[in-house]
């Protein structure tokens, strides 16, 4: 009996060692991915802004890169405010001149007005002072202010990044009132300018990223962002709904995204100005996937004209996808889910977008079924099902 107890204890001890070892390896992989991703991000960003900055500002631009990456990934950051967006804003606002002052009184590398600085300036380097002429304070402050604007415009229909930029330029209240980008020439031009440069910088960042299955991906993050923005709008599942431009409205006689739409019943596009249409319709599972992947491809210049088919089996077998082991998935990967009763079926029947982990739990974004809204839930809700992953970046 004593021998049995000892053997049992040794077996349990061995199991604990295995579990701890696996956990340590996962933590090491996560840290490695994070570090590799940030190095790639800084490399791509450096290439871009050093091309943009004038000769006498190249050193200022180079010094700003780690500050931008740290601030956007830190506690002041948010999904809408990427390093490419901040780098673009700084370029267009100040040209990376840390001591410039505009005729209107905007100051420093981030061009804060005194009243805005008083309300939103932060002590980024912990020296006890908030100095708009010090990039170590001004850049984190710009990230914090952008995220404050993004929070106020997050529920407005349309592209959340463009709405944030419009709110930065015209004020969040103007974006809320307009239901999107206000019809002000200055604001429209500002949003266009910033996003165009940000897209160029993001493409350079993506080009620097490793191609292994675990490496962080700006493309994958964009897939997630394009899908996640619809989860806060009570947008329902709609059979055959959605195309590369957005959700299909619920209109008489319209069943598929490709069907002709009656007058006054256009696709609700994320960039449209104005309030959401009545009878807003929605996406089905494969419609949401083809939309999110297409928008990410368009932003990063990855086969921009390639649109995934609107059906799960065809998406699973699309030649632009690469198979990824389920233990190597990363945000933005597409997961196909088979019915519990028919794991051998040719058609998986359902498809979701992997959105990363929250408090250690793997999350997905999906258009689940009729009667349910687009949502973000735990991947474990499909435990016991056959699943396969693809990457379309």
Residues catalogued as catalytic: 93
Contact 247, 230 (CB under 8 A): yes
Q: Collect all residues with Cβ–Cβ distance below 8 Å to 350 and sequence separation of at least 6.
A: 285, 312, 336, 337, 338, 339, 366
The two tokens of residue 338 are 């088979």
CA–CA separation, 43 and 53 (whole Å): 16
Q: Which residues of 181-212 are buried (b: 16+ CB within 10 A; e: fewer)?
A: bbeeeebbebbeebbebbbebbbbbbebbeee
Instruction: Give the closest residue to 185 by CA, choosing from 273, 99, 257.
Output: 273
Query: 3-class DSSP state for residue 39?
Result: helix
- Distance from CA of residue 34 to its chain's centroid? 16
DSSP 310-374: SSHHHHHT-TT-EEE-GGG--TT-EEEE--TT-TT-SS--EEEEEEEEETTEEEEEE--STT-B-
């Amino acid at each position: 009996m004593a021998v049995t107890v000892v053997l049992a204890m040794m077996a349990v001890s061995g199991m604990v060692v295995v579990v701890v070892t696996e956990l340590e390896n996962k933590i090491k992989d996560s840290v490695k991915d994070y570090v590799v991703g940030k190095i790639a991000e800084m490399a791509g960003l450096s290439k871009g802004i050093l091309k943009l900055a004038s000769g006498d500002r190249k050193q200022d631009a180079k010094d700003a890169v780690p500050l931008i990456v740290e601030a956007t990934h830190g506690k002041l950051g948010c999904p809408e405010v990427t390093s490419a967006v901040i780098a673009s804003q700084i370029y267009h606002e100040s040209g990376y001149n840390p001591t410039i002052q505009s005729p209107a009184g905007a100051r420093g590398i981030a061009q804060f007005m005194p009243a805005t600085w008083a309300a939103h300036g932060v002590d980024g380097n912990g020296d006890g002072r908030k100095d708009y002429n010090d990039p170590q304070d001004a850049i984190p402050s710009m990230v914090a202010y952008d995220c404050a604007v993004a929070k106020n415009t997050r529920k407005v229909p349309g592209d959340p990044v463009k709405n944030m930029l419009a709110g930065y330029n015209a004020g969040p209240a103007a974006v809320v009132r307009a239901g999107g980008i206000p019809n002000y020439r200055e604001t429209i031009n500002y949003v266009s300018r910033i996003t165009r440069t940000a897209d160029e910088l993001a493409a350079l960042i993506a080009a620097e990223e490793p191609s292994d299955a675990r490496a962080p991906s700006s493309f994958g993050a964009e897939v997630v962002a394009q899908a996640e923005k619809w989860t806060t709008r009570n947008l329902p599942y709609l059979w055959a709904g959605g195309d590369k431009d957005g959700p299909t409205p619920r209109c008489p006689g319209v069943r598929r995204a490709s069907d002709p739409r009656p007058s006054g019943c256009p696709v609700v596009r994320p960039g449209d100005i104005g309030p959401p249409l009545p009878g807003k319709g929605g996406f089905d599972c494969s419609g949401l996937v083809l939309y999110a992947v297409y928008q990410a491809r368009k932003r990063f210049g990855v086969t921009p004209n390639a649109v995934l088919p609107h059906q799960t089996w065809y998406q699973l077998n699309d030649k632009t996808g690469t198979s990824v082991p389920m233990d190597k998935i990363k945000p933005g990967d597409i997961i196909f889910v088979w019915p519990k009763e028919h794991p051998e079926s040719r058609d998986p029947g359902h498809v979701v977008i992997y959105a990363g982990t929250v408090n250690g739990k793997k999350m997905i974004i999906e258009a689940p079924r009729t009667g349910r809204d687009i949502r973000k839930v735990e991947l474990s809700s499909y435990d016991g099902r056959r699943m396969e992953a693809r990457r379309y970046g």
